[in-house]
Amino acid sequence: MAGYLDQHYRQTLEESIPALGDKTPRECVKTKQGREKVISWLKYLENQEAHRAKQNGSSAYDFSWMWAELGLD
């Protein structure tokens, strides 16, 4: 499943995200305000995934590569 999610989230980095003002995460990290939005978005994804994993008794997806990819680590 991690392979599918890796592919999905790699594609997501190139797509407009409504929560980011219809900009891509890569576009947003170019400004201070945009970086703050991307950080909030990533934290939201991580929290949702942790909740899903806990309910299913599985491991949560590791988003650390996205933080690094976007220069936010």
CB atoms < 10 A from the CB of 61, how many?
A: 20
- Residue 20 pLDDT exceeds 90: yes
Give the per-residue pLDDT at 73: 83
The one-character DSSP state at 55 is H
What's the pLDDT at 5? 86
pLDDT class for 1, splitting at 50, 70, 90? low
**Which residues 6+ apart lie within 8 Å of 46 measured at CB?**
60, 63
pTM (2 decimals)?
A: 0.90
The model's pLDDT over 42-53, given as tens digits with 9 standing for 90+, comes to 999 999 999 999
In whole angstroms, what is the distance from residue 73 CA to residue 70 CA?
8
DSSP state of 18: G
